[in-house]
């Protein structure tokens, strides 16, 4: 069941889709595992958004356990916005203007 308190910035949504396509070109199983992991991590963030450490520009960061990505999110007024699904090789604050 989707959590209505959580939304994705359009660019973060695009990042997830691009990563799924990249993994799918190499392994459909890896693409499915990545999508499932992102979904599970978003759910965990929704359950306890203050649990993960503060990060850059007023955000928090959840490191995906099995893929080199982080969920970068912002909490405001009981709403959670995923601002980036950032690959660890990208510049750490490329998403800061979102």
CATH code, 69 = 3.30.2310.20
23 in a domain, yes or no?
yes
- For 10-27, letters b (16+ CB in 10 Å) and e give eebeebbeebbeebeeee
Q: Give 22-78 pLDDT, tens digit per residue.
A: 999 999 999 999 999 999 999 999 999 999 999 998 999 999 999 999 999 999 888
> Which residue range(s) make up the domain with 72?
6-87
93 in a domain, yes or no?
no
Chain centre distance of CA 55: 13
Give the integer Cα–Cα distance in Å for 29 and 36. Answer: 11
Give the integer Cα–Cα distance in Å for 67 and 4. Answer: 25
80 in a domain, yes or no?
yes
92 in a domain, yes or no?
no
98 in a domain, yes or no?
no
71 in a domain, yes or no?
yes
Q: How many domains does the chain have?
A: 1
1 in a domain, yes or no?
no
Structure-token pair, residue 53: 């450490």
- Taking residues 68-96, report their average pLDDT: 91
Give the integer Cα–Cα distance in Å for 51 and 34. Answer: 22
96 in a domain, yes or no?
no
Q: Which helix (H) or strand (E) holds 7?
A: strand 6-8
Quickly state the pLDDT bin for 2 (edges 50, 70, 90): low
């Amino acid at each position: 069941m989707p959590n209505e308190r959580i939304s994705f910035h359009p660019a973060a949504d695009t990042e997830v889709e691009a990563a799924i396509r990249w993994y799918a070109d190499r392994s459909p199983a890896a693409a499915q595992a990545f999508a499932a992991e992102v979904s599970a991590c978003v759910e965990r963030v929704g359950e306890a958004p203050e649990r993960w450490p503060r990060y850059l520009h007023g955000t928090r960061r959840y490191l995906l356990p099995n893929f080199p990505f982080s969920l970068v999110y912002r909490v405001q007024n009981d709403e959670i916005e995923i601002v980036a699904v950032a690959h660890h090789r990208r510049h750490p604050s490329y998403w800061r203007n979102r």
